[in-house]
Amino acid sequence: MESPPSSSRPRRITRASKRAAVACKACNQRKVRCTVTLSGRPCANCTVDGVPCEILGRKRRHNSYLLPGVSDSPGEDQDESRLSTQTPQQTPQQTPPVQVTPSTPSVTHTSQADVSSTVAAQEKIEVAQYEASGNDECSNHQDDTQTPRPFAMEHTPALENPPFANTAASPSPRAQTEPSEASRQSKFTAYPEILETISSPEDRVPFYPGDKRGPAILIDICDPNRSLKSNLFFVPMPSIESLLPEDVSYLRSKGAFSLPARHIQEALIRCYFHHVHPFSPILEPDDFISKYEKGHVSLLLLWSMFLAAASFIDESYFSDDFYPTRSDMKRAVYRGAKALYDVDYEQDKITLIQSVFLLSHWYNNSEDRTGPWHWTGIAISLSHTIGLHRQPVITPETSEVVRPCWRRLWWSIYIREVWLSLGQGRPIRISLKDCDTPMVGPYDEDRLPSARNSEKYLPSNLTKLFALWVSLARLSRVLGTILSTNYAAHSTKPSRAEIESDEREIRECNCIVAERTKPDPVLSSHIYQFKLYLEASIIVLYRPFVLEPPLDVSSSEQASWKTLACQKTRAAASEATGAVNSMLAEDLLKLCLTITVLAMGPPMQIHLFESTSSKHLLRQTGKHNLALCMLAMNELRKSYVSADAAYELFDRAIGKVDAARARKEQSSASSDFSNDDSMQTDHIWGSYPEGYDILVGGIVSDVWMPFLNNGTDYGPWI
């Protein structure tokens, strides 16, 4: 009867032995990492909060070297607590100068030499060592803050209110070549914990051990009569290790602790909730804004949000003493966020997934291995580890832990994956056959914060914007099915009935938004973008059958079917261009999202195809619409490098089409030449639709169907 407790007790002791030996009282209560062993008193979190930093030792039974609680000295006032700790041995060369705003605290860490005299082997810290390094506060600090930097030091936020604990610091990229001491000591594994019965998931984190094809089958063997068949478990949070001094130096060199000035932060957060959040509602505005106002939000998440919002911030914020261009700002923000990711700063899996999802807004060039495809793949993998793709069983114990944003987060990742797959011509990495997370609906809408914070950060028509996003999620699910079936390497041609059924599903996703009573640029831009996405999906559905008929179309009906497919794609491209034209007329292109660049690809392909028609009216219409789309794409180049790549691709294709047309007009085409050229293009294109010029078929194919060009990197579409 006593064997289960005895078997579980060693695991608890093992986890406890990996924790830091010293933490202040505030960090201990909040269950976040404390930097007092590195920076001395006050620690980073207490510096941010402006609260006394009382030192508490670990409550071990048999260790005699524990630190007693150290109270603040009477002479330590609020202003001193805002300054960073520095030991007498620290030099300006060891601490890069940082400009500190008067109204916000700064965080400066000690050098490796100071820490080595403070931290003994296996974190056995002596009281005398701590007092020698922790009480020499604020010496010569003002001399180190004279050199201006683009970002002013604001704070190092930490997540408040468990179950998901956050950290203020963590191990560094040196672990890529040599494991840190903390990582060598950490041997916690979540798999044995899934066999334990818990009464409450409080202070635990979600974990998904997989389905029955893996080790999760042991659950059914050990407990075949369990009432809940869900494999979503909550396991103890892994221990938080101490930060190594070289990691601090690395993060500071990347600017990870240097946040923008307060007014710029607020502008970026407002841009995020106005232009990114409506079509990617991965956060809970009420929860985030509350934590941000208290200074307790994840630093990695904050940097990632700044990256996504940087495309929308007004150009008036850019200057020589901040950042001269938007691309410079994006690069600096991404550098800070990636540094935090590299050192495993974030321990909360949900916050980590949200952060890497937002990092997928980073795009440098088609050769960048850490672009949108990379970060979205990481978000998918991490989502699988905690079971976001599976429907959780809600019980009274788990109802407070399973957050409303989980389902929105999963479908936001799926939406982005589908459109990236379309843009890059790569397989979708999410199979809906392995997922049972329900489709989002009106019941998933955000809980709004107070009226003051709503007006400060949030758009006015969130309910209508959320309805648009729900329609986008449904549309993307249909589009994902089309890409997975009609464009797969070993797929079979769909029947005419299946194509018509897919079109009906796409049309049913159309969201009718109530008439706008007053101008609202945010709502209008999202309505036009959704219209573009819907028409692009129609084009993707019918595009392959412009050249080849469906499975069950007889030879006598093939010509009429190709005509129908041409009409469907031309009509959809015209409607999509109409939405682009409306955004141009209302000056809304500056509010477009990154996937809008992807969605403009199919209509532009159709217009390029139209420009090769032998019919004068169709050819001129195609040229006119393509020129309009090129004008819009040129405007998007100001915000997105991907738009610049797409513009260059189509500009070159247009030049080749025009050159081929000019050569044809200057030469007398012979029947032999025509037959030879027809034979050259037929093996790629099949029977070319009537009224189009086969002489430019090979040129159009370069931007027509990326799936036909195996091995080609279509990075410009992201």
pLDDT, tens only, 460-518:
889 999 999 999 999 999 999 999 988 888 888 888 899 999 999 999 999 877 656 67
Give the tokens for residue 521. 């640029």
- CA-nearest of 158, 203, 161, 181 to 340 is 158
Q: Do residues 99 and 153 make contact, with C-beta atoms less than 8 angstroms apart?
A: yes
In angstroms, the CA 408 to CA 466 distance is: 11
Check residue 12 and give its pLDDT: 42
Q: Do residues 515 and 453 make contact, with C-beta atoms less than 8 angstroms apart?
A: no
Higher pLDDT, 66 or 322: 322
pLDDT digits (tens, 9 = 90+) for 182-199: 443 445 565 555 555 554
Give me the mean pLDDT over the 88-109 stretch: 34
Q: Do residues 260 and 154 make contact, with C-beta atoms less than 8 angstroms apart?
A: yes
In angstroms, the CA 334 to CA 308 distance is: 10
What single string gives the DSSP state of each residue in 60-108? -SS-S-PPPPBPPPTT--HHHHTSPB--TT--TTTS----B-TTS----
Percent of the chain predicted with pLDDT > 90: 37
In angstroms, the CA 405 to CA 383 distance is: 13
In angstroms, the CA 205 to CA 347 distance is: 10
Higher pLDDT, 365 or 406: 406
Residue with tokens 């959040």: 277
Confidence of residue 51 (pLDDT cuts 50, 70, 90): confident
Lowest mean pLDDT among 446-450, 453-457, 535-539, 572-576: 446-450
Q: Do residues 611 and 619 make contact, with C-beta atoms less than 8 angstroms apart?
A: yes
> Does residue 64 surpass a pLDDT of 50?
no
Give the tokens for residue 652. 């070159």
For residue 86, CA distances in Å to 114, 117, 162 come to 9, 14, 31
What rounded mean pLDDT belongs to the chain?
72
pTM above 0.85, yes or no: no
Check residue 94 and give its pLDDT: 35
Higher pLDDT, 578 or 257: 578
For residue 237, CA distances in Å to 161, 210, 383, 609 come to 14, 19, 17, 56
Q: Do residues 159 and 165 make contact, with C-beta atoms less than 8 angstroms apart?
A: yes
Give me the mean pLDDT over the 657-685 stretch: 59
pLDDT digits (tens, 9 = 90+) for 161-220: 332 233 333 333 443 434 444 443 445 565 555 555 554 555 566 655 556 566 555 655
Give me the helix-helix angle, 496-508 and 462-486, nearest 10°. 170
Give me the mean pLDDT over the 381-398 stretch: 77
What kind and span of H or E run contains 381?
Answer: helix 372-385
- The winner for highest mean pLDDT among 331-340, 391-400, 490-499, 509-518 is 331-340
Check residue 235 and give its pLDDT: 57
> Does residue 675 surpass a pLDDT of 70?
no
- CA-nearest of 105, 82, 212 to 155 is 105
Check residue 653 and give its pLDDT: 93
Rg value, the chain, Cα: 29
Lowest mean pLDDT among 310-324, 551-565, 664-678, 679-693: 679-693
For residue 158, CA distances in Å to 69, 405, 499 come to 23, 20, 51
In angstroms, the CA 469 to CA 511 distance is: 9
Residue with tokens 């630093």: 299
Q: Where are the alpha helices (DSSP H) in 667-694?
A: 671-685
Give the tokens for residue 686. 């099949």
> Does residue 311 surpass a pLDDT of 80?
yes
Check residue 105 and give its pLDDT: 33
Give the tokens for residue 343. 């050192």
526: amino acid identity, one letter:
H
Q: Is the peptide bond before 42 cis (omega within 30 degrees of 0)?
A: yes
Residue 363: is it exposed, middle or buried by C-beta count within 10 angstroms (0-12/13-18/19+)?
A: buried
Higher pLDDT, 85 or 540: 540
Give the tokens for residue 391. 């429907």
Check residue 562 and give its pLDDT: 87
Give the tokens for residue 276. 């990114």
Give the tokens for residue 9. 């007790």
Higher pLDDT, 171 or 626: 626
Task: Tell me the CB-side half-sphere exposure of residue 718, using CA atoms within 13 A.
Answer: 28
In angstroms, the CA 601 to CA 646 distance is: 8
Higher pLDDT, 478 or 318: 478
Q: Do residues 526 and 593 make contact, with C-beta atoms less than 8 angstroms apart?
A: no
